[in-house]
Amino acid sequence: MADMNVQNLSTRAKSFFNMIEFDDNEELVWEIRKDPFGLFLIYFTGAAISAVIFSVLVLGALLFDTDFLGLGIELGSLRPIIIAIGFFLTVFSLVGTAIGAYLYQSNVVLITSEKVAQLLYKTIFDRKISQLSIGDVQDVTVTQKGVLARIFKYGTLVIETAGEQANYNFTFTPDPYETAKAIVGAHEENLKKYGN
């Protein structure tokens, strides 16, 4: 690992780095992290859901005396229960948003001169680590769907593999065309060095 430039890795990638076996002559080519725009979408959606829950249940129970939200429901002794449920659901929504943001930020792909290593978190307790020899890369495809992907320069990167291993899909890849060039370049260098 003498040639690996670990100092340039993000904190998440450094923790992931210790889970992968690297050769002494292996060089880090590229670190792929999720684009910040996807994180903005997670926070925006979570905040909007929390605001709706809070305003409907908590503020609705506090502001309406006899007819809760025009449904013909008498509040009376139900008011504290509705407020408590509203607070609980709001906090639950905010915690879910924080967990979603953590999982999003924890996904990383490392491209080295020898391999592609991918760490994906699906849930807090469900982690998948995949490794692929860079020589087994068949094709790299970039997809940008929608106006936002073009404006904010992110896309989906698909690394097609030889053999039985599943393709590597990485959504919200920043600068996906530059990343694809780096992967293809590392693949070609590997072929020059080791052949087919």
Q: pLDDT for 69-113, tens place per residue?
A: 555 666 666 778 878 888 999 999 999 999 999 999 989 888 888
4-12: long-range contacts, CB 8 A cutoff, minimum separation 24: 4/28, 4/112, 9/110, 10/108, 12/105, 12/106, 12/108
Pairwise pLDDT comparison (35 vs 13), residue with the higher score: 35
Question: What single-letter amino acid sits at 8?
Answer: N
CB 168 within 8 A of CB 162: no
User: Does the structure show a pLDDT above 80 at 12?
Assistant: no
Expressed in angstroms, the distance from the first to the final Cα of the chain is 24
Question: What single-letter amino acid sits at 169?
Answer: N
Average pLDDT over residues 109-119: 88
Query: What gap in Å lies between CA 75 and CA 80, rounded to an integer?
Result: 9
pLDDT digits (tens, 9 = 90+) for 33-59: 999 999 999 999 999 999 999 888 777
